[in-house]
Amino acid sequence: MTLDLGAIRENVAESLEGTSYAIESTGWLSKEVSALLQGLLIFFGTCYRFYLNEGRGNWWVFGGAMLCFFFSCLCFLFILVSLVGGIDNTNLPPWDDTYKGDHSDLIMLQVLVYVWIGYPLVSIVTRVWLWWFYDRADNDDKHMAYGPYLSMFKDLSYGVLDTTSKGGLALYVAVKAQWAFSR
């Protein structure tokens, strides 16, 4: 997805180059670097969630999990900057025949990328929930408990986020392709 959104950003930036609506470059944060960072983000997030059980266990496990979560969020921040950095919302191209496609591409790019902020927020809420309701308990399985409400919260949250971001991109690309072929 990062490559697709990066390609949309590059196409708009190229189209608006030399106009008063030009998008600032993000320097070394190209779409390829963002794709590499996305792989690292997934690696660190997987270590946090599955290998280190969201930091549930002794202090070494918790520290390693928080370190993985930090690096995952750092990768996420660089990806956000690479995709929406340099876009000035006060200076978007007008909605007319000359810039209509660029305007809608910039709005769509920002909506789909800013929806991603929900993923780390769900992880943070989950970690606080686990600590508050389970990890503070005095029973033997305190680090293994995972309640149905938390599971439902995560399933619903990730379902909405996935549908909005991935489904939104697919729908936008399909509508844009149909519009391009109908001209």
pLDDT of residue 77: 95
pLDDT of residue 132: 84
pLDDT of residue 144: 65
pLDDT of residue 63: 95
In angstroms, rounded to a whole number, what is the distance separating the alpha carbons of residues 89 and 8? Answer: 17
pLDDT of residue 7: 87
Report which of 44, 48, 46 is spatially closest to residue 130, judged by C-alpha positions. 48
In angstroms, rounded to a whole number, what is the distance separating the alpha carbons of residues 48 and 148? Answer: 21
- Which residues, given as ranges, of the chain have pLDDT below 70? 97, 136-145, 183
Residue 56 · residue 143 · CB < 8 Å: yes
